[in-house]
Amino acid sequence: MGAYLAFHGPNALKWAMRIGAAFLIIVLLYFIAVVFLVHGVEKTFAAPPPEPFEDPRWSIASAIEWNVGLGFSWAFWYGQWTRLAKTERTAYHGTLWGWGILSCTAGIFAALTAIIVGSFDPTDWLVASQIAAVPVIDLAMIIVANVSSIALLIYPMSITFRSRFPNIKWGYVVGIMTLGGVLLELIPGVFDSYGVYLAYIALLTGIYGGVMIGDYLLTRGTYKLRALYNRSIGYRYVGGFNLNALIATVVAVAFYLWTLDPLSWTSANGLFPLITAGIPSYFLAMVLYILLTKSGIFGKAGAYMPGKTIPTPAAVAAVKTPDASIDVKRS
């Protein structure tokens, strides 16, 4: 169903998301109210975690780590989704509210329900309600949430893929982008290792995000857009590699794995329950990247090495026309 929506493009996605988003907001608020009204606020907050660690510090640190991974896993798509918006204002507020207030609201419902039912599996929640209509509404919410998110994952991936291989038909592109998800569904045990997956996401995209923010703090995002996408005379790294970013990444990855092994969920240095792993690794990558870049050891400050200056349309017009001011205003 998600692939079907993606195949039919922006108009189908627009109306499906408008209806789906409104439905999810209403249902989530209703379910949160049901949780508190049926079970009570005091009982809800007094309920113990379904599967706690022996050490409460490990429970807290693990919850933080998984949420860091969950946050970074969605944030990785912001650049793709903002391309679907018509204005910068829409892109900014859509991301801010959709993956800020609304995603946290969904998280509150999931966390409270898991605690009350005593299970992390949403299918257990369907049969645990004392209200007859809740399982049907819950199932509808799960379907809408998954179909809409899958469609919004497949569509921008398909656009990116097709821009690189324009001769492949749109239907085939959507099918290729859908295939990975279908294969994952067929592999047993994939979703049983969801916590391990989130830990690796916190490791990889968290550190990558730290380097990106470090680069932004150095440059303030003041890139020449035409030079950024020009492969022949645009920006260049020293020797073709951003050594500052590579070194910062390797050091931060080593620190993360030293602090937390995602497979065995153990800490070699004993720091994990105290400082977690994803957050300190993020800041380590960011700070180290900034220091290396400013030092100029592996290239001058700024990391980017611009080639020849690329003239803007206004500059070209100013050279070619006698009355330069007219053409500059047109540009």
Write down the pLDDT at residue 300: 55
DSSP state, residue 175: H
Do residue 135 and residue 21 come from a single domain?
yes
As for how many domains the chain has, the answer is: 2
Q: Are residues 183 and 311 in the same domain?
A: no
Q: What percent of the chain has pLDDT over 90?
A: 26
- Identify whether residues 55 and 197 lie together within a single domain: no
**For 137-141, what is the mean pLDDT?**
85
Mean pLDDT of 229-254: 83
Tens digits of residue pLDDT in 65-93: 888 888 887 777 777 778 778 888 988 88
Same domain, 15 and 101: yes
Are 157 and 218 within one domain? Answer: no
**Which residues have C-beta within 8 Å of that of residue 313, sequence separation ≥ 6?**
331
- Give long-range contacts, CB 8 A cutoff, 24+ apart: 141-144: 141/23, 141/24, 141/27, 141/28, 141/31, 144/20, 144/23, 144/24
Domain containing residue 137: 1-187
In the listed set 187, 217, 235, which residue is the last one of a domain according to the structure? 187
Q: How many residues does the chain have?
A: 331
**Among 168, 187, 206, which residue terminates a domain?**
187
Q: Is residue 155 classed exposed, middle or buried when 0-12, 13-18 and 19+ CB atoms within 10 A define those classes?
A: buried
Pair (152, 243) in one structural domain = no
Q: Which of 157, 187, 217 is a domain's end point?
A: 187
Mean pLDDT of 109-126: 79
Query: For the chain, what is the mean pLDDT?
Result: 82
| Predicted confidence (pLDDT) per residue in 165-176, tens digit | 999 999 999 999
Buried b (16+ CB within 10 A) or exposed e, 48-78: eeeeeeeeeeeeebbebbbbbbbbbbbeebe
**Is 278 in the same domain as 179?**
no
* Separation of alpha carbons 95 and 87, rounded Å: 12
Q: What is the mean pLDDT of residues 115-141?
A: 78
Confidence (pLDDT) at 302: 41
Same domain, 206 and 176: no
- Rounded to the nearest angstrom, the gap between the alpha carbon of residue 264 and the centroid of all alpha carbons in its chain is 25
Residue 223 pLDDT: 74
My answer on whether 176 and 50 are in the same domain is yes
More confident of the two residues 215 and 99: 215
| Buried/exposed code over 115-126 (b: 16+ C-beta within 10 A; e: otherwise) | bbbeebebeebb
Quote the pTM value: 0.72
| Residue 194 confidence class, pLDDT cut points 50, 70, 90 | confident
Same domain assignment for residues 231 and 281: yes
pLDDT at 313: 52
Q: Which of 309, 306, 328 is nearest to 317 (CA)?
A: 328
**259 and 131 within one domain:** no
Please answer whether residues 288 and 251 qualify as being in contact, where contact means their C-beta atoms are separated by less than 8 angstroms.
yes
For the stretch 254-304, pLDDT in tens is 999 999 999 888 999 999 999 999 999 999 999 999 999 888 787 654 445
Do 166 and 223 belong together in one domain? Answer: no
Helix (H) or strand (E) holding 306: strand 305-306
Distance from C-alpha of 213 to C-alpha of 76, rounded to nearest angstrom: 13
Residue 123: pLDDT over 80 = no
Which band of pLDDT confidence, cut at 50, 70 and 90, is reported for residue 325?
very low
